[in-house]
Amino acid sequence: MNRIVHPIEQESFRRLRARLDTSHLPPLTRAVVERVIHSAADLEYANDLVLAEADLAKAHAALHAGAPVVVDVEMVAAGITRRETVCRLKDARSGPGLTRSAHAIRLAHEEVGPGALWVIGCAPTALEELLTLDADPALVIGLPVGFVGAAESKAALRESGLPAVSNVSEKGGSAVAAAALNALLYQPISPEETL
């Protein structure tokens, strides 16, 4: 994807790289780690993120081949640039044992089927619901934030064996989840090239 990088963004990444050496990371891993750190100005993500280059490579190919992108909330969708997303939160309803976010994930799953990229940056219950479905995702970016259920839902994601980007701590959020997806969007079709 050709995009014009603003000088402020260029300087921000220069400063990030001056404070943290990411040159040893494989290209897609480096792109995701740097963009997540950049979105939060939080260098701790370098040791908190859990991701695998092979998973990212498959997701990168699927994304650039047009796989659908599903998000849990509009704030994640707003942060994803140059790509349409599916968000069914406005259509969802809560009920006994089911949050509105979880229902939205069910509705989105019915719409997109297998092979989508799922970007969850807000609701741990959305990630928990996704793990109960037969989603067969290209990738799950599971970075919900919060003191209740966030770390546990991300641990469950890692235990599921699904291709994923997650982190160990309670932190996360819409901005970092969108940043992880944008890193894959911005990477050229030949991921050996760096931004």
38 is known as an active-site residue: yes
The answer to whether residue 150 sits within a structural domain is yes
**Per-residue confidence (pLDDT) for residue 2, from 0 to 100:** 67
Within a domain: residue 2? no
Q: What is the pLDDT of residues 21-64, one digit of tens each?
A: 999 999 999 999 999 999 999 999 999 999 999 999 999 999 99
Count of structural domains within the chain: 1
- Domain that includes residue 165, residue range: 7-186
The span from the CA of 9 to the CA of 15, in Å, is 10
Domain assignment present for residue 140? The answer is yes
| Range among 1-10, 87-96, 157-166 with highest mean pLDDT value | 157-166
pLDDT in tens, 109-124: 999 989 999 999 999 9
- Residue 62 pLDDT: 96
pLDDT at 192 over 60: no
Percent of the chain with pLDDT over 90: 80
Residue 100 covered by a domain:
yes
Please report, for the domain that includes residue 141, its CATH number: 3.40.50.10230
Which pair of structure tokens corresponds to residue 126? 């959305």
Cα 143 off chain centre by: 7
Q: Does a structural domain hold residue 29?
A: yes
Is it the case that residue 65 has pLDDT exceeding 50? yes
Is 1 a member of any domain? no
pLDDT in tens, 136-151: 999 999 999 999 999 9
Q: Give the pLDDT confidence of 156-187 residue by residue, as tens digits.
A: 999 999 999 999 999 999 999 999 999 999 98
Length reported for the chain: 195
Residue 26 included in any domain:
yes
- In this structure, how many other beta carbons lie within 10 angstroms of the beta carbon of residue 28? 23
Q: Which of 6, 38, 60, 103 is catalytic?
A: 38
Q: CA 22 from chain center: how many Å?
A: 19
Q: What percent of the chain has pLDDT over 70?
A: 96
- 83 located within any domain: yes
The pLDDT value given to residue 5: 79
pLDDT reported for residue 190? 62
